[in-house]
Amino acid sequence: MVAWQRFGNGETPKSSGQKGDKLVGNYYVKFDQEYKREIKELITKGKTEEEAKKEAPIFKEAQQMLLKWEAGDQDVVHLWQTMNGWVYKGFDSTYKNIGVDFDKLYYESDTYLLGKDIIEQGLKDDVFFRKEDGSVWCDLTSDGLDEKLVLRSDGTAVYMTQDIGTAIQRTKDFSDLNGMVYTVGNEQDYHFKVLFLILKKLGYTWADQLYHLSYGMVDLPSGKMKSREGTVVDADDLMAEMTNTAKEISRELGKLEGYSTEEKEALYKIIGLGALKYFILKVDPKKRILFDPQASVDFQGNTGPFVQYTYARIQSILRKANFDCSTAISGIELHEKEKELIKQLELYPEVIQQAAKNYSPAIIANYTYDLVKEFNSFYQNVSILGEENQDKKIFRVQLSKKVADTIKSAFGLLGISVPERM
């Protein structure tokens, strides 16, 4: 907000032609750039780095704006609502495009007051203590951690304050919860250790059921992504790139005869987003990811489109079979490839349990890839529709359908769609 006031000249998403979240993100980066410039300037004038960080004009402006915001200053609140509106509208567009939705949204602006109330009660219960400058802290040194700030000396909240309030509010809103999973990068490991411990000290027994799913951070080939420096992969651009790549490959394959323009565009999106989601989800969430945008659009090997294509191939088999697949078949001798495929299918329920236990969708993703490889080996070595024995033909079609149903189910758990034709 401070950076927009300084450098924005009244720019809006409409006047700039940018999505609101991208526009505001530009000023987030601009703030960091200006802050660093002012720190460097103050250091050259003889200030220490720590002094410079606290005395940089843009930082002091931000502090004053936060105080005004918490005090309900009309102009500051109006600007905050306006810029927040830009951001949320942009977020909504991206989430809708990628197929993500939420049951309930919690805003820090709604929970910080609750957190502050809890801090006041914690002071009375000796969970927290106040320092001479008026700031409030929690002493966790006896637990092997350190002292943690929960309220600034000027009375404004910090992230910890807000997270305490939000956790408590969630348990009130969903009284039947038996646990909460915080899916946040591993750079915040310490933060969540402190959060969970403070909640326990406040007497909330449900804090034992809180879990931080600490996922590995994402790097670019050029280095670590940093939102404040603008070195990030833009989700909207990446989705568009993936969709366009899917379009080019589909055209090269030349298998879209009879598709309307709308059907083609829908298919390109299914393939493109499938490639993107699978590329991320096939990696164990705890592992760091080197995200190479060029490699992510490779439609060969262990990729989403490879799995989707196998599903579409099976749908083609089912359409050509054109008979009732529900007929009970018994007494036939199974081919070795059929046995292997059945063994793989029987693992699916256990795989889901393992994925849930380990908080890892990668287990489902890689199982699906293994299943598809097994099916393709079966497809290449065993005749399905060309089988002369009717019972064997029916069984192989039934087996193929079971594979397709499992692929669709597994990809559904990963939030990935599968096309009926490719």
User: Which of 215, 247, 274 is the endpoint of a domain?
Assistant: 215
**Residue 210's domain spans which residues?**
105-215
**121 and 1, same domain (yes or no):** no
Q: Give the residues across from 136 on adjacent strands.
A: 130, 151
**48 and 155, same domain (yes or no):** no
**113 and 83, same domain (yes or no):** no
The residue to which tokens 């460097």 are assigned: 40
CB-facing half-sphere around the CA of 337: CA atoms within 13 A: 16
| pLDDT of amino acid 243 | 85
CB 250 within 8 A of CB 256: yes
Q: Helices 361-381 and 304-321: crossing angle, nearest 10°?
A: 50
**191 and 73, same domain (yes or no):** no
Per-residue tokens: 129: 């203590």
Question: Amino acid identity, residue 53?
Answer: K
Is the residue at 278 inside a domain? yes
Is the residue at 248 inside a domain? yes
Give the Cα separation of 410 and 311 in Å (integer): 12
The CB density around residue 140, as the number of other CB atoms within 10 Å, is: 16
Is the residue at 292 inside a domain? yes
**304 and 269, same domain (yes or no):** yes
Cα(first)–Cα(last) distance of the chain, in Å? 47
Contacts of 370 (CB under 8 A, 6+ apart): 344
**180 and 322, same domain (yes or no):** no
User: Which of 101, 123, 157 is the endpoint of a domain?
Assistant: 101
Is the residue at 420 inside a domain? no
Does the global pTM surpass 0.75? Answer: yes
**CATH number of residue 345's parent domain:** 1.10.730.10
CB 201 within 8 A of CB 138: yes
**155 and 286, same domain (yes or no):** no
**172 and 204, same domain (yes or no):** yes
Is the residue at 228 inside a domain? no
pLDDT tens-place values along the chain, 422 residues long: 999 999 999 999 999 999 999 999 999 999 999 999 999 999 999 999 999 999 999 999 999 999 999 889 999 999 999 999 999 999 999 998 888 889 898 887 777 778 888 999 999 999 999 999 999 999 999 999 999 999 999 888 899 999 999 999 999 999 888 899 999 988 899 999 999 999 999 999 999 999 999 888 766 665 555 555 555 667 787 788 778 888 877 777 666 777 888 988 998 899 888 988 898 899 888 888 776 655 665 667 888 989 999 999 999 999 999 777 788 888 899 999 999 999 999 999 999 999 999 999 999 999 999 999 999 999 999 999 999 999 999 999 999 999 999 999 999 999 999 998 87
Is the residue at 419 inside a domain? no
**29 and 161, same domain (yes or no):** no
The residue to which tokens 């969630």 are assigned: 170
Per-residue tokens: 327: 């007929």
Q: How many domains does the chain have?
A: 3
**120 and 269, same domain (yes or no):** no
Give the Cα separation of 139 and 198 in Å (integer): 9
**272 and 332, same domain (yes or no):** yes
User: Which of 72, 101, 130 is the endpoint of a domain?
Assistant: 101
Contacts of 323 (CB under 8 A, 6+ apart): 394, 397
**90 and 181, same domain (yes or no):** no
Is the residue at 418 inside a domain? no
Strand ranges of the sheet holding 129-130, from the earlier edge strand across to the other edge: 129-130, 136-139, 147-151
| pLDDT of amino acid 223 | 54
Is the residue at 225 inside a domain? no
Question: Amino acid identity, residue 197?
Answer: L
